[in-house]
């Protein structure tokens, strides 16, 4: 059977779809230790667990199929949009390096749909050109997970390349009847995973105040909108992107890495569990996620939620594996007359790229830091490093709204008290 190598494998969603179709795992590469633990737990093979840039050329094995979802943050339309020049932007270069070393017949790379549109598609076009230069026929297309029996509206771009002169025909939708959230996870309602039947299914423990806010949040509405509509729910700083209640009769919106903070169960007043998120991503119940359930800012390793949200949905991977078998077995037509053409697609790419990168560089110099940071961030970081029993002076004004300090320490799992009558000394108990 054909061998598959998985770059940036994460917990193994891409691999799972291919092994379901009979492919054999050749190698996997993943930087995160928790994701590597999950991969090893489910496939019995430990990925090479380090930054792929640190992997020696000699460590790569030849393979039939190379798959991988290279880091998407630099290409997301909701991110900094720095492309190949941004943090993690070198991920595609490592894909090219791996192609040269493993010499696969077939390559499938995954990224966000914005990769094809960002800055007029310059990074997409450059990527296709670089793979074409290695002797491959290349195509790209988008697939929406909800068309492949995944209860989620999730569109991703796939770059497919082959060296065996086969045409590339993208997978056709499997269904016209979308699976709803309720159909996917309704049997998990009122279960908590303690019986061992449902792994990774431990509901979050919310405060009564949060439960009250969730209870007033309507389907499709965020808790921020509910609070704006009902002043009795308080004035906490919650964005409209957080805590949105799912529709029961529709597929879920895209699950992101932090979906624990972006979704509310369609019928219960709580966040989704990791298992519910896994169902929505189309992972089977016997796929076990290792590592922390959730992760605080100072903790290392991807949480179960992050591993799930980052994954390629296994059912999408299965559809791509079916396509791969047809390409490898040459069931599609053979390309004739300039099999590695498409030259018109790549005209003036270098000059376009220089212009775009100059604009990005100028924007980075003038835009300053993106996003909001608490004015007490340095204090929070100091508290995180305090030993048990440690004391530190409180910043001026932090106790004006003690509820925020309480919440910040609760998220960090820190038990504390204020010493002295003037309430200016923080004492870390745990």
* DSSP category for residue 399: G
User: Which among 11, 36, 49, 72 is annotated as catalytic?
Assistant: 72
- C-beta atoms surrounding 73 within 10 Å: 17
Helix (H) / strand (E) element for 383: namely helix 377-385
Choose among 122, 156, 119, 123: nearest CA to 17.
Answer: 156
Tokens 């919106």 appear where?
253
CA 21 to the chain's CA centroid: 24
Q: Residue 411 and residue 329: Cα distance in Å, rounded? A: 53
Kindly report the backbone phi and psi dihedral angles of residue 48, in degrees, each rounded to the nearest multiple of 5, phi listed first. -70, 110
**Cβ-Cβ contacts under 8 Å for 72 (sequence gap 6 or more):** 111, 112, 115
Task: State the DSSP string of 45-67.
Answer: ---B-S-GGGS-GGG----SEEE
Q: Residue 405 and residue 158: Cα distance in Å, rounded? A: 44
Could you give the 3-state DSSP secondary structure of residue 268? coil
User: How big is the chain, counted in residues?
Assistant: 430
95 labelled catalytic: no
Annotated active-site positions, please?
72
């Amino acid at each position: 059977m054909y061998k598959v190598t998985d770059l940036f494998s994460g917990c193994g969603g891409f691999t799972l779809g291919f092994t379901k179709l009979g492919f054999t795992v050749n190698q996997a590469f993943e930087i995160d230790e928790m994701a590597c633990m999950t991969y090893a737990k489910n496939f019995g093979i430990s990925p090479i667990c380090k930054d792929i840039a640190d992997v020696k050329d000699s460590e790569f094995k030849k393979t039939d199929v190379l798959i991988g979802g290279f880091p998407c943050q630099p290409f997301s339309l909701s991110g900094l949009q720095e492309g190949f020049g941004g943090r993690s932007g070198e991920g595609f270069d490592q894909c090219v390096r791996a192609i040269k070393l493993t010499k696969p017949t077939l390559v499938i790379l995954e990224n966000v749909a914005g990769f094809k549109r960002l800055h007029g598609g310059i990074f997409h076009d450059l990527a296709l050109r670089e793979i074409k230069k290695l002797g491959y026929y290349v195509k790209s297309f988008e697939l929406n997970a909800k068309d492949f029996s995944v209860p989620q509206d999730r569109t991703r771009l796939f770059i497919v390349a082959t060296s065996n002169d086969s045409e590339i025909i993208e997978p056709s939708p499997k269904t016209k009847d979308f699976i709803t959230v309720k159909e996917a996870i309704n049997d998990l309602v009122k279960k908590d995973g303690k019986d061992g039947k449902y792994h990774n299914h431990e509901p979050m423990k919310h405060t009564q105040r949060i439960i009250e806010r969730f209870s007033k949040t309507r389907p499709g509405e965020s808790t921020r909108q509910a609070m704006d509509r009902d002043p009795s729910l308080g004035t906490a700083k919650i964005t409209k992107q957080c805590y949105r209640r799912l529709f029961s009769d529709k597929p879920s919106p895209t699950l992101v890495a932090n979906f624990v903070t972006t979704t509310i169960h369609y019928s219960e007043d709580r966040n989704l569990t990791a298992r519910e998120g896994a169902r929505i991503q189309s992972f089977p119940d016997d796929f076990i996620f290792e590592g922390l359930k959730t992760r605080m800012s100072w903790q290392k390793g991807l949480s179960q939620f992050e591993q799930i949200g980052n994954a390629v949905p296994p059912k999408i991977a299965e559809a791509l594996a079916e396509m791969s078998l047809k390409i490898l077995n040459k069931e599609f037509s053979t390309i004739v007359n300039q099999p590695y053409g498409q030259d018109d697609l790549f005209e003036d790419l270098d000059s376009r790229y220089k212009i775009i990168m100059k604009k990005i560089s100028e924007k980075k110099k003038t835009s300053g830091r993106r996003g909001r940071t608490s004015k007490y961030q340095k204090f929070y970081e100091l508290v995180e490093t305090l030993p048990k029993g440690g004391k530190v002076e409180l910043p001026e004004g932090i106790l004006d709204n003690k509820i925020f300090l309480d919440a910040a320490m609760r998220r960090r799992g820190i038990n504390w008290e204020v010493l002295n009558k003037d309430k200016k000394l923080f004492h870390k108990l745990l």
